[in-house]
Amino acid sequence: MITIKSRREFAKMAKAGAAVAAIHEAVRAAAAPGVSLLDLEEISARILEERGCSSSFLGYHGTYPATLCLSPNDVIVHGIPSDRRLEEGDILSVDAGAIFEGFHGDAAFTMPIGLVSAEAQRLIDVTEDALWVGIREVRKGGHLGDIGAAVAEVGKSNDFGVVEEYVGHGIGRQMHEEPQVPNYGRPGQGLRLRTGMALCIEPMFNAGARHTSVDDDGWTVRTADGSLSAHWEHTVCLTPDGPQVFTAGEEPIPVEFEQSAARG
């Protein structure tokens, strides 16, 4: 079922989104060579508590053990925070989710740790770019296929492997709601977008081939060929005032504004 959110419900999702943005900011500031993944997990748990939120991830499927997914280097998504310490040259994907008064926000970014290779930085930048290209396809009357087609084009034209086994999703009272939001599709095809919908758009691009494998822990998803991977995600809502990004800061950001701001 695709749920349609009211203004009041979106206001709660905005609070959840702001908590996720605050976690991103704090983790980005703290992540550095010598810092452990569990140090970052602690920061996330503290911010959730400070903001009266619970975690979207902790206990997910009965077994997920943390409030963050921390996915270094060849880990695509769902890396579990451990005592592993970050090293200069790593890249790290940080995925956070918050629940405020029953409503979720979910977003991810990938960052360099110290100085990284030019190719690693290009992977990070192109995947971020693909997220925003996808976000600009979210409009009333548009189609789900517009988003996936636009995201995939950015990855493929840059010679990156575009992961297909894991997809974006609707979001609301559940972290994962219908519809699925794949990083592939055909323009003008698929579900028609309407006011009240909330979507998580999340490109995952690999420096090598798109194929994936899951570790024995049942969670950690890696590139099959060992190449680096990046993951960017935002929660995007079709509000009565137009499309807005809910996980970029303290307040939702109108997509049109973001578009013109990016053009300078």
Residue in 5, 24, 78, 234 binding ligand MF3, rule: CB under 6 A: 78
| Minimum distance, C-beta of residue 20 to Co ion, in the bound complex (Å) | 10
Per-residue binding string, Co ion, 87-116, x by CB under 5 A, is: -------------------x----------
Query: Residue 162, interface with ligand MF3 (CB under 6 A)?
Result: no
- Burial (CB < 10 A; 0-12, 13-18, 19+), residue 157, is exposed
Tracing tokens 């991977």 back to the chain, one arrives at 229
Residue in 48, 75, 200, 230 binding Co ion, rule: CB under 5 A: 200
Query: Residue 106, interface with ligand MF3 (CB under 6 A)?
Result: yes
Query: Residue 177, interface with ligand MF3 (CB under 6 A)?
Result: no
| Cis preceding-peptide flag for 179 (omega within 30 of 0) | yes
Residue closest to Co ion, measured at CB: 200
Looking at residue 245, what DSSP letter applies? E
Query: Residue 105, interface with ligand MF3 (CB under 6 A)?
Result: no
Nearer to Co ion, 116 or 170 (CB): 170
Nearer to ligand MF3, 94 or 255 (CB): 94
- Number of residues engaging Co ion in binding (CB under 5 A): 2
Amino acid at 227: S
Query: Residue 57, interface with ligand MF3 (CB under 6 A)?
Result: yes
Site for ligand MF3 in 198-237 (CB under 6 A): 200, 202, 233
Looking at residue 248, what DSSP letter applies? S
CA distance 22 to 29: 11
Query: Residue 9, interface with Co ion (CB under 5 A)?
Result: no
- For the chain, helix (H) and strand (E) counts, in that order, are 5, 16
CA distance 118 to 97: 30
Maximum alpha-carbon separation in the chain: 48
Structure tokens at 104: 């979720």
CA distance 48 to 42: 10
Q: Are 41 and 68 in contact (CB under 8 A)?
A: yes
Query: Residue 171, interface with ligand MF3 (CB under 6 A)?
Result: no
Query: Residue 95, interface with ligand MF3 (CB under 6 A)?
Result: yes
Q: Please report, for residues 109, 163, 212, the alpha-carbon distance to residue 223 in angstroms, rounded to integers and kept in the order given.
A: 17, 9, 5
Q: Are 213 and 221 in contact (CB under 8 A)?
A: yes
Residue in 13, 18, 31, 69 binding ligand MF3, rule: CB under 6 A: 69
Stretch that binds ligand MF3, among 28-36, 46-54, 56-64, 189-197 (CB under 6 A): 56-64
| Minimum distance, C-beta of residue 263 to ligand MF3, in the bound complex (Å) | 29
* Residues found near Co ion in the complex (CB under 5 A): 106, 200
* Residues found near ligand MF3 in the complex (CB under 6 A): 57, 60, 64, 69, 78, 95, 97, 106, 200, 202, 233
